[in-house]
Chains A and B, each alone.
Chain A
């Protein structure tokens, strides 16, 4: 049994919150470069220029890439050989979020649903814990902004809708979202499971390195086709018209009930933020 103090968890979560919000991933920057070269719209090209410049300023001046530093979504893979001691595990994560958002000058965006009163420390975090073999703890912090999250959806299709049903819904949904989620976007698609699982795998699909294909060739082909169809919509960077509405589509699939065919689309913006650490 490996012992990890709860304060260690808080410390790691704190720095991940800051890193995720200040430093855009190399995979995203590389995707900007590729897309900028291929973008046909002059305004679209300019948008990519701005996004690259924005990422540079954020990195060098240590400020948030985007002012919407999101709700802190925290994924934990907890090794079953690990014993967390010295405090409440969930409280430690929330403490890390609180400190990270305070010390990193990040915006606090959590509020009461009815009164809209801000909780003032960006807690509660959204925590997903999965037990895995081993004696390590892997923590991923994925700040999620409201603009793109609002454009996401879960639908319970009928099995007879088939794969075409999935494709049409995804494309329709992205079209409806239009310029709202800050395109170029990254589209996470979940297929299967139950109502809540399909949404969760759609969100997890966003954690994959940008543009990496699903190992299942059928799903990889689906990702490719969806990306082409989405980019044929012409919405373009910032919705101002152009070739790149999306940088990537990531699909994840798991078995579902014989009567069901759930699907979810979780849209992420170009501020495609997540950072992980292993303790």
Chain B
């Protein structure tokens, strides 16, 4: 296990190339939320050759549908959702410059290949730790698709948001490695 790495978003190729599966990372800066319905809309816009509501170059998308914020809170509980549902859309987004994805659960082979090809990484945040993770989110503002409710795209300002690298730019997979290490 390596020590914790502090990283600022947006991420460059060299930022992500340094990351290895198993690295613990604290992210600071702006990240964007997006899950099922938002991915579908972004993907459809790209297919039609239309501009996206946010420029994803160098950005990190967090697969999350937060709980509503209580008065005085920046955001309600906000842990990751299952990433596999975004697999169909992710390679296209990496192609246009997306550098990081935060979620939980396994990615398809094509997505892992795309991370190698386009230089991007997949981070896991602790699924179900939504109350804890919300503490690292200082500001949240809907920037697109407000009609989608919890599925809208929001711009989050995060400070030391804790994640772990699952898939790196070399095709390593922490889920596979971890399981092999502890299987009996």
Contacts and interface: CB of A to CB of B under 8 A. Distances in A.
Interface of A: 40-43, 47, 50-51, 53-55, 57-58, 61-69, 105-109, 116, 118, 120, 146-147, 150, 178-180, 182, 232-236, 238-243, 269-271
B69 A105 contact: yes
B129 A51 contact: yes
Contact of A179 (B105, B134, B148): B105
Contacts of A116: 36-37
Interface in B142-166: 148-151, 162, 164
B131 A233 contact: no
A118 B152 CA distance: 12
Nearest to B183: A234
A108 B175 CA distance: 31
A63 B164 CA distance: 25
Interface size class of B (residues with CB under 8 A): 35 or more
B45 interface: no
Contact of A63 (B37, B76, B148): B76
B129 A43 contact: no
A125 to B, nearest CB: 18
A118 B151 CA distance: 10
Contacts of A54: 126, 128-132
5 contacts: A41-B178, A57-B135, A146-B81, A179-B175, A182-B127
Contacts of A233: 179, 183
B182 A236 contact: yes
B70 A67 contact: no
B123 to A, nearest CB: 12
Given A106-B67, A118-B150, A239 B178 contact: yes
A226 to B, nearest CB: 15
Interface string B1-19: 1000000000000000000
B82 interface: yes
Given A63-B76, A64-B76, A57 B179 contact: no
A67 B135 CA distance: 13
